[in-house]
């Protein structure tokens, strides 16, 4: 389901809820049940299949924070007091299959319960709203598990389709960028665009080797998010990029890297242009990389190692890392002893 239709569905639930008054729940919760069935309420221990959205409402504008329809798929869990907090349990147990539910809590109540205070985007006097649609009730665990597998299949199919669409969009963006800036690129076997800056020597890199690499990663607008060359980042040793299927020989990397390096050889310098599905997709590892970002990497192949050489290098790097960690822990212990001595 597209995000627009999800927003419309959430908006319909909110509008329907506005037509009736909220009931008081526990722990600052307020709720409304929009009846969609004349059946019996769910029983303790039965399994609920629910579509859930969280919405931030400031009274003028509603913003969707999360929606299972566009992410994880419908949630399936048992109605019991172990898996469900009491304040929510007492509301959910009133639902029937087909019912909808709107729960809201004032940000002030969240602040009182959370010692860390409100998230940066939330302001006092605003609401966090949760909409729930009960789409199925299962009496047995076997029925629930079968439904879960079916739901995951739908999610995987949707994610593949979204990835394909994002790939097409990113390729168009990059091709327009190359044409505008007159950049000559090669295309690696799986789609990474490679701009050769300095040719290397010897055979092209393949899946039998491990390579030592210097790199700087940037977003398309030039924000550096990682580097072992830039002095503002702590690590300046070349990293081992494992092109083999042996996990002991170096760290795994994004698909766009293993694809792009197949176009290079020892000593080569290049720039990779990587579509978001070949990088991190919607699951960004850092706030510096927005979801579905095209990434660029300036890379240099410092050396090409066989498996024996790579094992020696990997062991040496692990030993060095352990020594650094030990020095850090020793310094922390010494600082603690110094502080304790001053107190005494």
Which strand (E) or helix (H) includes residue 270? strand 269-274
What mean pLDDT do residues 92-118 have? Answer: 82
pLDDT of the residue at 17: 47
Percentage of the chain with pLDDT > 70?
Answer: 89
Residue 213 near residue 305, CB atoms below 8 Å? no
pLDDT of the residue at 138: 95
Q: What's the token pair of residue 56? A: 């931030």
What mean pLDDT do residues 160-167 have? Answer: 93
Give residue 1's pLDDT band: very low, low, confident or very high (50, 70, 90). Answer: very low
Nearest to 267 by CA among 204, 185, 223, 318: 204
pLDDT of the residue at 70: 77
Task: Give the whole-angstrom CA distance, residue 191 versus residue 307.
Answer: 27
What pLDDT digit, counting tens, does each position of 275-309 carry? Answer: 999 999 887 788 788 889 999 999 999 999 988 88
Task: Give the whole-angstrom CA distance, residue 133 versus residue 280.
Answer: 31
Q: What's the token pair of residue 231? A: 């002095």
Longest dimension (CA), the chain: 75
Residue 103 near residue 27, CB atoms below 8 Å? no
What pLDDT digit, counting tens, does each position of 211-237 carry? Answer: 999 999 999 999 999 999 999 988 888
Task: Give the whole-angstrom CA distance, residue 88 versus residue 189.
Answer: 51
Mean pLDDT rounded to a whole number for the chain = 86
pLDDT at position 3 over 60: no
Residue 87 near residue 25, CB atoms below 8 Å? yes
Catalogue all structural domains in the chain, each as residue range(s) with its CATH number: 3-139 (3.10.50.40), 177-313 (3.10.50.40)
Count of residues in the chain = 344
Tokens 């055979």 belong to residue: 203
Cα distances from 333 to residues 11, 324, 327, 342, in angstroms, run 55, 14, 10, 14
Nearest to 212 by CA among 229, 237, 175: 237
DSSP per residue, 174-210: HHHHHHHHT---EE-TTS-EEEEEE--BSSPP-TT-E
pLDDT of the residue at 8: 47
pLDDT of the residue at 103: 94
The CA angle 305-308-309, to the nearest 5 degrees, is 40
Residue 129 near residue 62, CB atoms below 8 Å? yes
Task: Give the whole-angstrom CA distance, residue 261 versus residue 300.
Answer: 10
What pLDDT digit, counting tens, does each position of 60-84 carry? Answer: 778 888 888 877 889 999 999 787 8
Rg (CA), the chain: 27
User: What DSSP designation does 83 have?
Assistant: T
List Cβ neighbours of 16 (8 Å cut-off, separation of 6 or more): 34, 100, 102
Phi, psi of 61 (to 5 degrees): -140, 140
What pLDDT digit, counting tens, does each position of 110-149 carry? Answer: 766 665 566 666 778 888 899 999 999 999 999 999 999 9
Tokens 């994004």 belong to residue: 254
pLDDT of the residue at 124: 81
pLDDT at position 87 over 60: yes
pLDDT of the residue at 159: 87
Cα distances from 93 to residues 48, 77, 116, 136, 282, in angstroms, run 10, 13, 31, 14, 35
pLDDT of the residue at 25: 92
CA 250 from chain centre, in angstroms, equals 23
Residue 28 near residue 105, CB atoms below 8 Å? yes
pLDDT at position 5 over 80: no
pLDDT of the residue at 314: 77
- Among 29-33, 63-67, 165-169, 336-340, the minimum mean pLDDT is found in 336-340
pLDDT at position 199 over 60: yes
CA 28 from chain centre, in angstroms, equals 30
pLDDT of the residue at 112: 65
What mean pLDDT do residues 14-32 have? Answer: 77
């Amino acid at each position: 389901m597209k995000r627009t239709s999800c927003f419309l569905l959430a908006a319909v639930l909110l509008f329907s809820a506005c037509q009736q008054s909220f009931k008081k729940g526990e722990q600052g919760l307020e709720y409304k049940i929009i009846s969609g069935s004349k059946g019996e309420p769910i029983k303790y221990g039965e399994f609920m299949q629910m579509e859930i959205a969280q919405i931030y409402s400031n009274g003028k504008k509603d913003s969707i924070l999360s929606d299972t329809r566009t992410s994880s798929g419908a949630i399936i869990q048992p109605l019991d007091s172990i898996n469900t907090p009491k304040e929510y349990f007492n509301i959910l147990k009133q639902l029937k299959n087909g019912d909808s539910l709107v729960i809201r809590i004032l940000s002030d109540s969240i602040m009182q319960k959370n010692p860390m205070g409100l998230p940066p985007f939330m302001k006092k006097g605003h609401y966090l709203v949760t909409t729930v649609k009960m789409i199925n009730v299962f009496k047995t665990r076997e029925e629930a598990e079968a439904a879960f597998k079916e739901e995951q299949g739908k999610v995987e199919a949707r994610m593949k389709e979204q990835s394909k669409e994002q790939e097409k969009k990113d390729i168009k963006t990059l091709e327009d960028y190359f044409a505008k800036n007159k950049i000559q690129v090669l295309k690696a076997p799986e789609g990474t665009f490679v701009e050769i800056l300095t040719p290397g020597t010897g055979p092209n890199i393949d899946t039998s080797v491990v390579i030592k690499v210097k790199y700087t990663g940037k977003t398309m607008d030039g924000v550096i998010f990682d580097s072992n060359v830039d002095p503002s980042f702590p690590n300046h040793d070349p990293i081992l990029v494992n092109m083999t299927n042996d996990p002991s020989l170096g760290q795994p990397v994004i698909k766009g890297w293993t694809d792009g390096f197949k176009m290079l050889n020892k000593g080569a310098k290049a720039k990779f242009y990587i579509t978001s599905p070949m990088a991190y997709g919607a699951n960004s590892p850092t706030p510096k990389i927005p979801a579905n970002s095209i990434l660029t990497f300036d890379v240099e192949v410092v050396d090409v190692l066989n498996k024996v050489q790579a094992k020696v290098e990997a062991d040496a790097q692990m030993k060095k890392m352990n020594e650094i960690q030990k020095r850090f822990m020793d310094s922390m212990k010494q600082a603690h002893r110094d502080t304790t001595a001053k107190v005494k």
